[in-house]
Structure 1
Amino acid sequence: MLRLTDLPRPEPGPGQVRVRLTARPINPSDLLFVQGSYGREARFTPRPDGGTRESGWAVAGFEGAGTVDTLGPGTRGPAPGTRVAVSATGTWQEHICVPGTSVIPVEHGVSTEAVCQLTVNPFTAHLLVRDLALEPGATLLLTAGASAVSRMVIHLASGRGVRCLPVVRHREQAHALTRLGARPLTAGSAGALTEAVRDTVECGQVDAVLDAVGGALGDAALRSLRPAGRFVSYGMLSGRPLSVRPDDLVFRQVSVCGFWLPARMERLDEKELGVLTGEVQEAVARGLPGLEVAERYDLADFRTALERTGRPGRAGKVLLTG
């Protein structure tokens, strides 16, 4: 259960910086964390009076934007006053203390709305496109085709000559994706998706799938793969499981794998991380699609923000500000 509470202002320890946060997006991963369905359990801070685990607190939020206001002892980090993107658990609060390596200094020309979304979706999109390494002319099917990550992937993959087929439920969503260079497929059901792929792709099969939905739609996307095609699951918006048949794996030689950003980032060495961070910062500074903002709410109005996040048809993220 989420609730608003007053906490003592944290003091940074050795190697840490304290950031005064001003904006945070509400991402699907945040909602999973709040529901207790995320890949990592919440770390509860016990009450000073020694209360039970349930009476302590854990702060939600995995990214945000703000300004460094204090350095911990011996910290070599961004100087106080530096605008930064923050990648850490617990950003839905006013102040947060994190290792100096968990913040990314940003240029003043980049909006706070874009900065607060820098560390999750743009990194995810870049790594998904990099890991797939599709050749020009290949076809890529994306469920949740109007999502922020999909729009970013379409922008990056189309630039490499990949033919992107984002799946949307409403024709209104298709127009913006067409302007990004995609060929949207309007499909409100698994059967409609299968038919749409057959009508759009000459052989009726695609080279790769990025699935953020699961359930029946994910199953239909998996069936649309060509032999030896690649299926990557990176989300679970439907809350339903995938059905992977042995004959897909054995006879059709389809490969199925999952993508989780924290685990993927852990496999990057320092040099690779530096190069990737530079690429992401450059893309965001140039106006990477998928960073649009629909609505802004103060932290104290988090209930309204969460309710608005759950409504379909949004044209951007809902942010928590203040």
Structure 2
Amino acid sequence: MKRAVYSQFGTPETVLKFEEAERPQPGEGQVLVKMVLSPIHNHDLMTIAGQYGFKPPLPAVPGTEAVGIVEALGAGVTNLKVGQRVAGGAEQTWAEFYTANAARLVPVPDSVSDETACQLVAMPLSTKMLLDTLDVKEGDWIAINAANGAVGKLLAQYGAEKGVKVLGLLRRAAAVDELAKTGFTTVVATEGADWREKVRAMTGGAPIVRGIESLGGDGANELSSILADGAQLVSFGAMTNTPLKISAGELLFRNITVKGFWGAKPPVKPERVGVLLGELIKDAAEGKLVLGIEAAYTIDQVAEAAKASGEPGRKGKIAIKP
């Protein structure tokens, strides 16, 4: 079978290769899955670059989420059947076949597209867990930068369901109209000098009590500048791959607090994760949750796919297919 692989950490489009390998065998509690579609997440690229929260032993096969067809069952697996289409978190998913813990996979209804199913867990589930832990109530304002990413769109959708108001920040003015087509209209571009005045006009001067920071670098100072005194800034990502910058004055004189969020270490109880995942499956089956793919590349095009994933202005994820 074909699989993507890297033997050193570095720029993904440089270090990623593909190779032929033996098909893996499922162990106890595992299933063997024939991959259909696997998205490229930012954390996948950060892992390949050696900049994520853990470093896998090398050589390594990347990929952390996919949709596929159950090919074989390991010992003790009773919750899944051969031939079922399943989605969920796994490891080494950029391969024609991969093994996964059966407990982490869920059957996908026929009404859910492969494009949505392959990215059903990482970003949507993280967004729901994030909302669960923000300690906000109906009518509160929260803000998020990199608002045209999957988390920004999902936060606007799920926040609205709870009556929480979400303000999005974008770097490009042209992206504001694009985002409005998805129903996310409380969005401001930070290109112009008067963007903070636009924020105040959009919120009616109401306090913004939480900020979700996904850029890193100067994104933190920019976002904290529109937060209310005593607000909380949550570091959720680092798309710029640069250290978080926030002035001491924001912390000392405005009592802004900073905390991190990592979905790999869920801040909610396991049973709550199960409930949230069930909500996502239901939403996807009913067409309330639709996640697009801009393009899919075959495994032997993995370097090209990684490069495309880093291009600005994408309207959906880049994915890997067999």
State whether TM-score is above 0.5: yes
Contact 2:40 2:309 in 1 (8 A): yes
Matches of 1:63 and 1:78 in 2, distance apart? 17
Q: Is the 8 A contact 2:145 2:214 kept in 1?
A: yes
Report if aligned partners of 1:10, 1:97 keep a CA contact under 8 Å in 2. yes
SS of 1:280's partner is helix
Pair 1:228 & 2:242 matched: no
Identity of aligned residues (%): 28
| 2:218 match: secondary structure | helix
**Aligned residue for 1:157?**
159
In the alignment, which residue of structure 1 is the partner of 2:3? none
- The residue identity in structure 1 corresponding to 2:72 is T
For 1:97-246, what aligned pairs fall within 5 Å after superposition?
A: 97-179=99-181, 180-188=183-191, 193-203=195-205, 205-246=207-248
Looking at structure 2, the residues matched to 289 and 217 of structure 1 have their Cα atoms a distance apart, in angstroms, of: 28
Letter in 2 for 1:185: V
- The count of residues paired between Structure 1 and Structure 2 equals 307
CA deviations on 1:37-81 (whole Å, 9 max, x unpaired) are 11111133xxxxxxxxxxxx2110110010111011232230100
1:199 Cα offset (Å): 4.4
Q: Distance in 1 between matches of 2:167 and 2:236?
A: 17
Question: What CA deviation, in whole Å up to 9, does each residue of 1:284-322 have, x standing for no partner?
Answer: 223345611111111111122122212111111111112
**Residue equivalent to 2:295:** 295
Deviation at 1:264, TM superposition (A): 1.5
Asked if 1:268 is matched to 2:251, the reply is no
Q: How far, CA to CA, are the matches of 1:25 and 1:100 in structure 2?
A: 20
2:290 and 2:233 map into 1 onto residues whose CA distance is 22
Q: CA RMSD in A?
A: 2.0
CA distance in 1, matches of 2:287, 2:178: 15
How much does 1:233 deviate? 0.9
Taking the aligned partners of 1:290 and 1:149, their CA distance within structure 2 comes to: 13
Whichever residue aligns with residue 12 of structure 1, its letter is: P
Q: Secondary structure at the match of 2:98?
A: strand
Given residue 118 of structure 2, which amino acid in structure 1 is its aligned partner? C
What is residue 49 of structure 1 aligned with on the other side?
none
One-letter code of the match for 1:299? Answer: I
What TM-score does the superposition give when structure 2 sets the normalisation length?
0.88
**2:319 paired residue number:** 319
Stretches of structure 2 lacking an aligned partner (at least 5 in a row)? 1-14
1:38 aligns with 2:52: yes
* CA deviations over 1:112-149 (Å, ceiling 9, x no partner): 11111011011011111221242222211110010011
Q: Does 1:27 align with 2:41?
A: yes
Correspondences of 1:300-311 after superposition (within 5 Å): 300-311=300-311
